[in-house]
Structure 1
Amino acid sequence: MFSIRKAVPSDAAILPTIEHSAAQTFRGHPELGWIADDDVQSEQDHLNYIAQEMEWVAVNNNDQPVAFINIERLQESLHICEVSVCQSWQGKGVGRRLIQQVVEFALLEGVRSVTLTTFREIAWNAPYYQRLGFSIVEASELTTDLASILQQEVNAGFNVEQRCAMRLNIIR
Structure 2
Amino acid sequence: MHSIRLASPADFPRLQEIEVLAGAAFREVGLPEIADDDPPPVELLAGFAAAGRAWVAEVDGAVAGYLLAEVVDGRVHVAQVSVDPAFRGRGIGAGLVDHVDDGGGVTLTTFRDVPWNAPLYRRLGFVEVEPTGGLAAVVAREAALGLDPAKRVCMLRPGRR
Scaled by the length of structure 1, what TM-score is found?
A: 0.88
Percent identical across equivalent pairs? 37
Q: How far does the alpha carbon of each residue in 1:112-149 deviate from its partner, in whole angstroms, 9 at most, with x for none?
A: 221000011111111100100011102xxx33110011
Matches within 5 A, 1:1-172: 1-30=1-30, 32-61=31-60, 63-103=61-101, 106-107=102-103, 112-138=104-130, 142-172=131-161
8 Å CA contact 1:66–1:85 kept in 2: the answer is: yes
Structure 2 spans left out of the alignment, 5+ residues: none
State the Cα distance separating 1:33 from its structure 2 match.
1.6
Q: Which letter does structure 1 place at the counterpart of 2:134?
A: D
CA RMSD across the alignment: 1.3
Does the CA-based 8 Å contact 1:25-1:36 persist in structure 2? Answer: yes
Output the amino acid matched with 1:23: G
Structure 1 residue 19, shift from structure 2 partner? 0.9
Q: 4+ runs of 1 displaced by more than 2 Å?
A: none
Q: Is the 8 A contact 1:76 1:113 kept in 2?
A: no
User: How far 1:84 moved relative to its partner?
Assistant: 0.5
Instruction: State how many pairs are aligned.
Output: 161
Question: 1:12, 1:44 within 8 Å by CA — same for their partners in 2?
Answer: no
Instruction: Tell me the SS of whatever aligns to 2:13.
Output: coil
CA distance in 2, matches of 1:49, 1:160: 25
Deviations 1:95-115 (A, max 9, x none): 111111011xx23xxxx2210
Determine the C-alpha separation between the residues in 1 that align with 2:45 and 2:81: 12
Gaps of 5+ in 1: none
